[in-house]
Amino acid sequence: MELNDGNLQTLTEFLRKTLDPDPAVRRPAEKFLESVEGNQNYPLLLLTLLEKSQDQVIRVCAAVTFKNYIKRNWRIVEDEPNKVSDPDRTAIKANIVNLMLSSPEQIQKQLSDAISIIGREDFPQKWPDLLTEMVTRFRSGDFHIINGVLRTAHSLFKRYRHEFKSNELWSEIKLVLDTFALPLTELFKATIELCQTHATDVNALKVLFSSLTLISKLFYSLNFQDLPEFFEDNMETWMTNFHGLLTLDNKLLQTDDEEEAGLLELLKSQICDNAALYAQKYDEEFQPYLPRFVTAIWNLLVSTGQEVKYDLLVSNAIQFLASVCERPHYKHLFEDQNTLTSICEKVIVPNMEFRSADEEAFEDNSEEYIRRDLEGSDIDTRRRAACDLVRGLCKFFEAPVTAIFSGYVNSMLSEYAKNPGGNWKHKDAAIYLVTSLASKAQTQKHGITQANELVNLNEFFVNHILSDLKSPNVNEFPVLKADAIKYVMIFRSQLPKEQLLQAVPLLISHLQAESTVEHTYAAHALERLFTMRGPNNSTLITAAEMAPFTEQLLNNLFKALALPGSAENEYIMKAIMRSFSLLQEAIVPYIPTLIGQLTHKLLLVSKNPSKPHFNHYLFESLCLSVRITCKANSATVSSFEEALFPVFTEILQNDVQEFLPYVFQVMSLLLEIHANSIPSSYMALFPHLLQPALWERTGNIPPLVRLLQAYLEKGSATIAGSAADKIPGLLGVFQKLIASKANDHQGFYLLNSIIEHMPPESIIQYRKQIFILLFQRLQSSKTTKFIKSFLVFVNLYCVKYGAIALQEIFDSIQPKMFGMVLEKIIIPEVQKVSGAVEKKICAVGITKVLTECPAMMDTEYTKLWTPLLQALIGLFELPEDDSIPDDEHFIDIEDTPGYQTAFSQLAFAGKKEHDPIGDAVGNPKILLAQSLHKLSTACPGRVPSMLSTSLNAEALQYLQGYLQAATVQLV
């Protein structure tokens, strides 16, 4: 694509269409952009548009498209073509920083993200001048530019907060510190001075304070891994200024907005984080500054209001106290009873209150409320921070703290009892306090695993929780109902089983509540209870115990999906999946009606898949319906196909990328249930499964390979008969997969199924070419994974076609090739094969080579006979060799760049491990003994003499054992 006006015009038109709400206009435009993004100059055309277009909307659209293009294509993946041409890469890196700094803020943010994506791959090795280019802009004095640099640096360095330690990471951070730490410190001091100079100019202060917030964030990232020498030497400068900023109160920066945090709050929140980092990680060095920070933060907490805009600040400030109070060094600061009382009274209790803002979120923004409250993403809520502070204080002062709070809990509950309608929030706070006091350790899987001995959880459950669960009106006091359900869920490992069983029918009735939070919590609580393990490793609650409630449970769960706001509620769908899994054959009578509801739901969500977890559990539930029903009666598989195929066809025709891997898995499951024949509906689809476009997407590869394996297993004769022209396409897929280090094992799965199931005459003409392809790959890049798969394939071929056929095909490619493969690959590497079935295939294959291949007995290959036998005995007796050469590293499937639905394995579509040899060979050691016996009777004297001259003593001893076990002798 040339950089010319015509192309810019075309691109502008297509970008405009991608914003069209009508899918008939939008989709083709998106497809067009996807089709041209591989062309050279495409990214440069986008950059030209975002810089020069007259239309602001097009500029922003070009910026977003450019960022997403970088996200998808910048990373270079081994074995895959480079998606951005080298001249484009160079041009982008040469211009992007300037462009970002001179663009308006909306575009600056997109380009800043793009720089950090490129930086993650190329910095520092392939982009050494990035930092110096950025640092020189600090001197510009223009804070629009400076903030652009700071924002980019922040998105580049924030990964240091969660990267694992490594030498590579350390050297990168050292390079950054050498270039960046001093200019950052100078900028920090200069900015603070400017704040004093412009103390009365509100617009200047806004820009300066956003710079200070970014500088404070960078401080956090650069100090996270370890305390850098530079910052230790300059701690006085940073800490004194941080302390000054914490205590600063500039009336001009106070906002009237009650919801949105202002610049002052954001800066102080970040400083609290920085202080907490130092208090936790570098307490010795931070000791001199700690008391003044504790005082400043305490004063901040006592003087800050209850408005939502202060939430982040208050929660970070409380988190600072929490991290300080659980360090033994600082214990003395909190020992005094009066100190504890005032912390409880002034900080903890007020921040546990359920505010009107929380009530609004509960009613109107339930999704966000649930995410914060259930999934622990409420890191920045006041309640979570107060709860952490309670936990921290309990570490050293459990008894006094519990005593102080018990008083509060009792008074709150008695307030509630006086007037439940008006004082329900008191009970809510009491439940929250009890929960935070009682919970010492918690896991996702088991809820609370360690509880405070001083709190009687059962008594509290019976006296205060059960009454809310039992109340006949599920829609009254929804917040307290949600609290009660959450209590059961969190303390499920602490409460006795009879109380949990008492709760189950009550939870089922709460699935009908109008409040989204309430019915979601009920579904989540049931799902968690169903996963609890009993004493003998089975589920704690059994299908028999659920029998009286089964119908009600399934009815209410499916009805809950029809409640407003819950059409794609992932918690309800997960509870449906878990109920199916627990109830097993008890669901069979209900499936005919439920499958209709599930497929209808699938059809609706496939129009616009937006909730990945919901969709995943929906497919899991479909798999369970199929498995459980067909286990009871395999003939029902056809009724599932009738229900599902119309939806699947639509998904395939509309190329709903997110759903294809799931559809292929469910189809595999269905096809594997059939007896040894393949319905025509599947055969009609077969050619489509070989289309190269489907195989371009990494997420499709594992489920598609499995589906093709099912086709080969059930319909090899049909394929050979009526679709023989598709065999080259099938082998083309194998050829593509074998060329990739990430997917070569999938190529072998396919090849092994072809060898195992296809009629020999249908593939005879392709056999030699298959081996040649494998040898080419062995020469170009030989990895451990490839060799293991290659060994299994070679031995499977031998089992299937016989040892003579194996030797002949090798030697037809090149004379003496068979000996080379034995000597260079099979004998030295067979120890690396892992997996019981794989080892069995290799053992049977090698046994055949040793005992059914005349060339091994009377040609130059004979010298390899004993080493091969020794290697086989090693495979039986020695531990597996799992060493991997240093220079090898496998690209994980998960590492594919950009947004591609990575393969999502459906747990309930699992496939049993298949053994191609089956019962024909029970014990391969016995088979070896019997085969050697047979060989020795055919040529008496040869075998014992070969053994006695060159097999080592230990191996010989093992072999004697096999012969005795098989009750045979060598002659």
Query: Computed over its alpha carbons, how large is the radius of gyration of the chain?
Result: 34
* Residue 340 in tokens: 């504890």
Contacts for 722 with CB less than 8 Å, ≥ 6 apart? 683
Q: Is the dihedral of CA 435, 441, 442, 445 positive or negative?
A: negative
Q: What is the DSSP string of 595-641?
A: HHHHHHHHHHHHTS---HHHHHHHHHHHHHHHHHHHHH-GGGHHHHH
Give the model's pLDDT for residue 895.
Answer: 31
Contact 288, 271 (CB under 8 A): no
Amino acid identity for residue 959 in this structure: L
pLDDT, tens only, 349-380: 999 999 998 999 999 999 989 988 886 655 56
- Is residue 326 assigned to a domain? no
Q: Is 439 helix (H, G, I), strand (E, B) or coil?
A: strand
CA distance 971 to 934: 9
CA distance 452 to 439: 6
CA distance 86 to 539: 57
- Is residue 565 assigned to a domain? yes
Which of residues 379 and 119 earns the better pLDDT score?
119
* 87 pLDDT higher than 80: yes
- Residue the block writes with tokens 């802009």: 137
* Residue 875 in tokens: 């495979």
At 318, give phi and psi (nearest 5°): -65, -40
pLDDT, tens only, 124-161: 999 999 999 999 999 888 999 999 999 999 999 999 99
Contact 356, 391 (CB under 8 A): no
- Is residue 72 assigned to a domain? no
Give the model's pLDDT for residue 901.
Answer: 41
Residue 881 to residues 76, 484, 837, 885, Cα–Cα distance (Å): 32, 54, 17, 12
Percent of the chain as helix, strand, coil, to the nearest 5:
75, 0, 20
* 893 pLDDT higher than 50: no
Cis peptide before 505 (omega within 30 of 0): no
- Is residue 553 assigned to a domain? yes
* 613 pLDDT higher than 60: yes
How, if at all, do strands 439-443 and 447-451 pair?
antiparallel
Q: Which residues pair with 442 in a beta bridge?
A: 448
- Is residue 582 assigned to a domain? yes
Amino acid identity for residue 529 in this structure: L
Give the model's pLDDT for residue 961.
Answer: 96
Number of Cβ within a 10 Å radius of residue 494: 19
- Is residue 615 assigned to a domain? yes
Average pLDDT of the residues in 604-615: 94
- Is residue 652 assigned to a domain? yes
Share of the chain above pLDDT 70, in %: 96
Give the model's pLDDT for residue 884.
Answer: 66
Tell me the pLDDT of the chain averaged across its residues: 92
pLDDT, tens only, 176-227: 999 999 999 999 999 999 999 999 999 999 999 999 999 999 999 999 999 9
Which alpha helices (H) appear in 76-104, and where do they start and end?
Answer: 86-102
CA distance 511 to 491: 20
CA distance 530 to 520: 15
* 388 pLDDT higher than 50: yes
Average pLDDT of the residues in 484-499: 95
Q: Is the dihedral of CA 849, 855, 860, 865 positive or negative?
A: positive
Give the model's pLDDT for residue 376.
Answer: 63
CA distance 889 to 78: 11
CA distance 851 to 868: 11
Structural domain total, the chain: 1
- Is residue 651 assigned to a domain? yes
CA distance 5 to 13: 12
Of 171, 180, 183, 182, nearest to 153 by C-alpha is 180
Average pLDDT of the residues in 702-719: 96
Q: Which residues pair with 533 in a beta bridge?
A: 539
* Residue 780 in tokens: 């170009």
Task: Please state the pTM of the whole predicted model.
Answer: 0.84
Contact 615, 609 (CB under 8 A): yes
Give the model's pLDDT for residue 474.
Answer: 95
* 442 pLDDT higher than 80: no
CA distance 790 to 795: 9
Domain that holds residue 622: 542-656
